[in-house]
Amino acid sequence: MTRENQSSTDLKSAPGVKDYSAYFQPPSLKDAKKRGKEEIQVHYDFSIPEEMREFGAGKRYLIQTYGCQMNEHDTETIKGLLDAMGYTSTEDRQEADLILFNTCAVRENAEDKVFGELGHMKVLKQQRPGLMLGVCGCMSQEEAVVNRILSKHPFVDMIFGTHNIHRLPHILKEAAFSKEMVIEVWSKEGDIIENLPKKREGIKAWVNIMYGCDKFCTYCIVPFTRGKERSRRPEDVLAEVRDLARQGFQEVMLLGQNVNAYGKDFEDIDYTLGDLMDDVRKIDIPRVRFTTSHPRDFDDRLIEVLAKKGNLMEHIHLPVQSGSTEVLKRMSRKYSRESYLELVGKIRVAIPDAVLTTDIIVGFPGETEEQFEDTLSLVKEVGFDAAYTFIYSPREGTPAAAMEDNVPEEVKKARLKRLNDAMAELSKASNDAMAGKVVEVLVEGESKYNPDILSARTRTNKLVHFSGPKDLIGKRAMVKITQPKTWLLMAEWLEEPAVSPF
């Protein structure tokens, strides 16, 4: 059954479930593509309802997060809301009073993991009936997922969508007092809620600059689960970054599904991602990054601003997805192999030491051996330092899911391996070229495997390990690369030279 011909009546008639049609509009490809330029409203008046401010006192929550940095950041908002209701956090499922799964829908295996976890939850729920269980994030925006939870995991207390996070206090209240599963998923939401609390930890902070995506690449579910593109006002983004700088954060990552479309929805001002980066550049925060870029909208203004460097890092994540113009057409990426290479050329001229990383899908419907080899040759021609590589996963309701998935599974796996081998070689070659160089790193903490070793990142986002005093954690330091490996640079700490102001 496709999304278009599914209706929500089967959901309404599920036993024990109230009529929630006002809250749940199933995602529809047709409707999503028709979405117009409804006015985007920005709300600055969020507050936790009076009666919910003590609701979590003495209770503990655990949130399990899947997927991209946008989801990780949503989890920070959810934690901020729960803290504001008096909850505290725990890592132990046995002592949690509330467990939330913040889910990802981008590939099938991410969904399988969540359904597997929900299976385990049944026993926990039987042992402790007071435990509240919720599913949120991108999977909640899919009608088929909601149906499956209703029929197979009816013990779940609440399901809420990516546009409903600010409703969490109300959803919790309803779930606590009602015997039915509470479902609140809006499929279209043009609004931005500005003043939600956020619980940030560590030295790096994520900052949303826009929400949603209007690109509709044929394989991708994000335009349905995250809604239409809407940019935060520059003054709100800049105020947040200034505040993070005042709090002592060392790095901000500006986030959006398609950040190069930033500002395109403003009707009153002409202000793009390049302008935003130029303004963020003037804020006294040591490191600024952004993700994710779409090659189609990556303009000259942005390149010109990134070339000014300072606190703007010389690392660009530029998903290419395929090196074959034919496949790119079927993916509806709206650029060709040639125009991608042209963009890379421009970046290389303006920022010669820029490191490029990418995302690639292998085994897209109809991908021939020759077309896959075009991807391999492009990867080598660009000389990416790293790539997130994926086997194509059909997503119900997307145009690609209706294409014939005719590349055999073994061929897909073999292509992934060939691509990963090529990437490992490229990464090793690029790391080898750094031997003996002195670079600035931001020290993030102890290495996961050896607490005597510090773990740090270069401006180009390469991982560096070295021995040094613990008080370097959270600071920038200069190191000399001694032993490059495939995915890691071993280094030695230098007390001199000092770190540049930026």
Nearer to ligand 5AD, 105 or 175 (CB): 105
Looking at this protein, which amino acid is placed at residue 64?
Q
Dihedral sign from CA coordinates of 397, 109, 216, 267: positive
Q: Which is nearer to ligand SF4, 287 or 317 (CB)?
A: 317
Site string for ligand 5AD, 325-364 (x = CB under 6 A): ----------------------------------x-x---
Contact between 390 and ligand 5AD per CB under 6 A: yes
Q: Identify which of residues 98 and 209 has a Cβ nearer to ligand 5AD in the complex.
A: 209
Residue number of the CB closest to ligand 5AD reads 359
Listing DSSP states for 276-290 in one string gives HHHHHHTSS-SEEEE
Using alpha carbons, select from 279, 245, 247 the residue that is nearest to residue 262. 279
Supply the angle between the helices 168-177 and 69-84 in degrees, to the nearest 10: 60
Instruction: Please choose, out of 129-137, 169-177, 387-395, 465-473, the segment that lies near ligand 5AD by the rule CB under 6 A.
Output: 387-395
Minimum Å gap between C-beta 258 and ligand SF4 is 5
Binding partner selected for residue 392 from ligand 5AD, ligand SF4, none, CB under the kind-specific 5 to 8 Å limit: ligand 5AD
Distance, CA of 104 to CA of 136 (rounded, Å): 9
The nearer residue to ligand 5AD, 55 or 219, going by C-beta atoms, is: 219
Length, in residues, of the chain: 502
Tell me how far CA of residue 170 lies from CA of 68, 174, 184, 422, in angstroms.
Answer: 26, 6, 10, 50
**From 73, 395, 462, 476, residue interacting with ligand 5AD (rule: CB under 6 A):** 395
Cα–Cα distances in Å, from 228 out to 21, 147, 182, 271?
A: 21, 24, 25, 19
- The letter for the amino acid at 296 is R
Q: Which residues contact residue 395 at a Cβ distance below 8 angstroms, ignoring those fewer than 6 apart?
A: 105, 106, 107, 108, 219, 220, 221, 401
Give residues in contact with ligand SF4 (CB under 6 A): 213, 215-217, 220, 222-223, 257-258, 294
- Exactly one of 29, 40, 82, 106 binds ligand 5AD (CB under 6 A); that residue is 106
Q: Does 72 bind ligand 5AD (CB under 6 A)?
A: no
The single-letter code of the amino acid at 458 is T
Q: Residue 150 or residue 213: which is nearer to ligand SF4 going by CB?
A: 213
Output the smallest distance, CB 207 to ligand SF4, in A: 18
257 interacts with, out of ligand 5AD, ligand SF4, none, CB within 5 to 8 A per kind: ligand SF4
* Residue 101 contacts ligand 5AD per CB under 6 A: no
Binding site partner of 158, from ligand 5AD, ligand SF4, none, Cβ cut-off 5-8 A by kind:
none
Assess 256 for contact with ligand 5AD (CB under 6 A): no
Q: Burial, 296: exposed, middle or buried (Cβ in 10 Å; 0-12, 13-18, 19+)?
A: middle
One DSSP character per residue, 367-403 reads: --HHHHHHHHHHHHHHT-SEEEEEE----TTSGGGGS
393 binds, among ligand 5AD, ligand SF4, none (CB under 5 to 8 A by kind): ligand 5AD
- Residue 422 interacting with ligand 5AD (CB under 6 A): no
Task: Report the residue number, 250 or 324, with the smaller CB distance to ligand SF4.
Answer: 324
Q: Which does 390 bind (CB under 5 to 8 A by kind): ligand 5AD, ligand SF4, none?
A: ligand 5AD
Bridge-partner residues for 132, per DSSP? Answer: 98
Per partner kind, with CB cut-offs from 5 to 8 A, the member of ligand SF4, ligand 5AD, none near residue 103 is none
Contact partner at residue 431 from ligand SF4, ligand 5AD, none, CB < 5 to 8 Å by partner kind: none
Using alpha carbons, select from 105, 112, 168, 158 the residue that is nearest to residue 135: 158
DSSP 395-450: -TTSGGGGS---S-HHHHHHHHHHHHHHHHHHHHHHHHTTTT-EEEEEEEEE-SS-
Distance of closest approach, residue 257 Cβ to ligand SF4, in angstroms:
4
Q: Which is nearer to ligand SF4, 223 or 274 (CB)?
A: 223
